[in-house]
Amino acid sequence: MPTTETTSARFADIENWSTDELVDGIVTEQFAAIAAVRAASAEISRAVDAAAERLAGGGRLIYAGAGTSGRIAAQDAAELPPTFNWPYERAIPVMAGGESALLRAAEGAEDDRGAAKRTLEGLDIGDKDVVVALAASGRTPFAIAALEHARSVGALAIGISNNPGSALGEASDIAIVLETGAEFIAGSTRMKAGTAQKAALNALSTGIMIRLGFVYRGQMVEMRVSNEKLRGRAEKMVMALSGATIERAREALAEAGGRISLAVLMLEKRLPAIEAEKRLAAARGNLREALK
């Protein structure tokens, strides 16, 4: 039996605990989840470097999962475009049971190996792509089939599970194992295992974006400016990174069509927008490289 589905004697009578004890126990378990992610740091680092290498060549980051794991994966995919201006068509969630399963549980969808393969075949994945599949138990057929198909066509297959020695790990090029053990409520992997998966994806996708050059001096220089709050943040970012006045930063940002990295490059190198855009494109969007 996977350790995530075992019962802990420590939590055998939680229904008799006080509310304060319940909340403290649940929160304390989240610390254990983060410790499990830290223990897997070496494999996460390997995955960051390997994935960034593929994606630098134009590949896509494809997430696959069922239930809680699939929803966590879909959230990570959805946040890359606004944060890093990563194209939506290159951050693709593949959810067992389809999009409707993001809001309503699709019972039995996790067992449909054929659906995973058909979906990835429809995406025509290849050796530039990266497929990240998640399954707390490490034995979800949908997630395993996604990785098996990924490897069969040369895509990078990264598996994230919460049990060592799992079938998901065997199907992976890089297996990230987050050993979170028994849950506060036995088998409820939306809790500690889910927290660990979210933290691991934070490290994985953010690390990839940094390696690809979408962060400069610790700031989100490819952030999409989609509202007034973000416009103000972008102006201050351009000002801080270029040393320009707020008025000049605002002007440059407007000339750059709201693209922060482009505005910084224009100000730093005293280039018109069209020349700065060419230079940034030649550096594959990497502001640090463009500034060199």
Assigned token pair, 8:
């802990």
The domains found in the chain, sorted by start residue, are 3-211 (3.40.50.10490), 228-291 (1.10.8.1080)
**The dihedral sign for the CA sequence 91, 95, 101, 103:** negative
- Please report the pLDDT score of residue 200 as a whole number: 98
Which is nearest to 189 in space by CA: 65, 80, 77? 65
Q: What is the pLDDT of residue 1?
A: 76
**Which residues, 6 or more positions from 185, have their beta carbon under 8 angstroms from its beta carbon?**
11, 14, 191
Active-site residue set: 79, 110
State the pLDDT at residue 102.
87
Token pair of 4, please?
């995530």
Asked if 241 contacts 221 with a C-beta cutoff of 8 angstroms, the reply is: yes
The neighbour count for residue 6, using CB atoms within 10 Å, is: 12
So what's the pLDDT on residue 109? 87
What is the pLDDT, as a whole number, of residue 280?
A: 93
Residuewise pLDDT in 10s, the chain (292 residues): 788 888 888 898 999 999 999 999 999 999 999 999 999 999 999 999 999 999 999 999 999 999 999 999 999 999 999 999 999 999 999 999 998 888 888 778 888 899 999 999 999 999 999 999 999 999 999 999 999 999 999 999 999 999 999 999 999 999 999 999 999 899 889 999 999 999 999 999 999 999 999 999 999 999 999 899 999 999 999 999 999 999 999 999 999 999 999 999 999 999 999 999 999 999 988 999 999 8
Residue type, 236: K
Please report, for residues 20, 51, 150, 161, the alpha-carbon distance to residue 26 in angstroms, rounded to integers and kept in the order given. Answer: 10, 34, 36, 21
Q: pTM for the whole thing? A: 0.92
